[in-house]
């Protein structure tokens, strides 16, 4: 970096800033002396006075000291711990406007990571939620102790302070109610709570999940060891105070890790799983099964996948990153054959069971990576017409991108939860595929997360 290009902002410097747009993490983005400045809590169109908190070579971070000109879309966040918790980033922005700004995040990603002409890409208006609150069907709250009181909540934004959460605006009320009652039982029975510093104690995390359609409730206690003092009494109390509980499970994680679940799981009472319904499909959700956190919007998302696939009843469809088979089963009745793969063997077992339960005989599931199975199948003369991909936030594996460019399916339907990696992968695939359209879907209202379904056609 040349001397004259070096950053001119000093730590703790105060300066005025006009916010131009939202960043990918929901923060306001402005420019001071041609330098990018990220300001959490600031909204596009606002004029603010900020104080620099962190200086990086390519950007600065700052906090709001004063809002000189407020956005007309700014609202009071309903959550009392909105600013400390960091779980939601956009409760202070009117919901209708969240949809506009989040679509803009998709456009920004395409501008930054592709060389494509944006005028030729149809980025559609975002599909929102009728009621954008209390939608999350699962919560994982860490437990801790402060002044003899058991807390349950999330670690604060950029800190290791546990924020006790009594109510959460985006959680289904049944999950919050269950967490609070289990927290109280742990307090009443004096069951040792895990302390990260001393690495002593037993209960680390309370995970609760509700079937939005079935209303079945599951409680999972993550513990450092198998033995829990007063285990029988604990189970009895959970059943008594949560009469609707269908499944009580223990998962053991004694590792020093930020991962919630350990390898060993045991059912303490009731069933191993709860039921959930999506459209006309039923799923059994065990403690560690991945399942979409917002089933209401999941139906809309999967319907968009079905639309983008444009199936007529004869196509060969690959469901890469298939998990328990949800997306493939959603489109199966319109397809000639479904083949799905995932690297987690338990997910493949669940996918097979789910297909059998719904009488879908033309779906086959294998353990492994798409980049390994696709070349094998094409060698055998089986060529996919449509490949559906739903990768993690990191996007598609480089080898899979190469494989798709070689195999050349007629259509790729890309389900993405990260606009930046989506744009990067679109740029790579654009050698052989044209983006017909991108349909954003708001899976996580009040947060900066953006989900998209992209239809890509072989050139």
The residues assigned a catalytic role are 417
Tokens 């009117």 identify what position?
94
Which tokens is 284 given? 């059994």
């Amino acid at each position: 970096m040349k001397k004259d290009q070096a950053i001119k902002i000093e730590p703790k410097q105060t300066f005025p800033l006009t916010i131009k747009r939202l960043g990918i993490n929901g923060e306001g983005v402005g420019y001071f002396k041609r330098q990018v400045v990220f300001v959490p809590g600031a909204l596009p169109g606002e004029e603010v006075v900020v104080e620099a908190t962190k200086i990086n070579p390519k950007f600065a971070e700052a906090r709001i000291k004063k809002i000189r000109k407020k956005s007309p879309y700014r609202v009071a966040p309903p959550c009392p711990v909105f600013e400390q918790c960091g779980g939601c980033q956009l409760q202070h922005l009117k919901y209708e406007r969240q949809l506009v700004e989040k679509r803009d995040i998709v456009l920004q990603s395409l501008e930054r990571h592709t060389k494509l002409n944006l005028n030729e890409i149809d980025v559609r208006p975002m599909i929102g939620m009728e009621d954008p609150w209390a939608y999350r069907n699962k919560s994982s709250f860490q437990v801790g102790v402060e002044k003899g009181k058991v807390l349950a909540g999330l670690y604060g934004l950029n800190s290791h302070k546990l924020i006790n959460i009594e109510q959460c605006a985006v959680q289904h009320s049944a999950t919050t109610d269950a967490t609070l009652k289990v927290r109280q039982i742990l307090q009443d029975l004096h069951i040792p709570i895990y302390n990260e510093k001393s690495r002593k104690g037993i209960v680390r995390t309370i995970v609760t999940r509700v079937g939005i359609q079935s209303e079945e409730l599951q409680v999972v206690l993550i513990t450092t060891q198998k033995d829990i003092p007063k285990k029988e009494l604990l189970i009895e109390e959970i059943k008594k105070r949560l009469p609707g509980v269908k499944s009580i499970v223990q998962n053991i994680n004694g590792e020093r890790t930020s991962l919630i679940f350990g390898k060993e799981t045991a059912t303490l009472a009731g069933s191993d799983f709860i039921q959930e319904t999506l459209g006309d499909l039923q799923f059994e959700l065990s403690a560690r099964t991945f399942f979409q956190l917002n089933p209401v919007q999941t139906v809309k998302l999967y319907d968009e996948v079905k639309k983008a696939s444009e199936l007529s009843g004869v196509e060969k469809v690959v469901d890469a990153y298939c998990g328990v088979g949800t997306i493939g089963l959603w489109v199966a009745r319109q397809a000639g054959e479904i083949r799905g793969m995932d690297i987690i063997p338990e997910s493949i077992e669940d996918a097979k069971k789910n297909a059998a339960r719904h009488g879908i005989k033309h779906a086959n599931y294998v353990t492994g990576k798409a980049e390994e199975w696709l070349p094998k199948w094409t060698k055998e003369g089986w060529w996919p017409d449509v490949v559906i991909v739903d990768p993690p936030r990191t996007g598609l594996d480089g080898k899979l991108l190469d494989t798709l460019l070689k195999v050349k399916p007629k259509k790729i339907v890309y389900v993405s939860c990260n606009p930046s990696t989506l744009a990067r992968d679109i740029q790579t695939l654009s050698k052989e595929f044209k983006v017909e359209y991108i349909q954003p879907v708001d899976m996580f209202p009040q947060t900066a997360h953006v989900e998209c379904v992209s239809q890509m056609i072989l050139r």
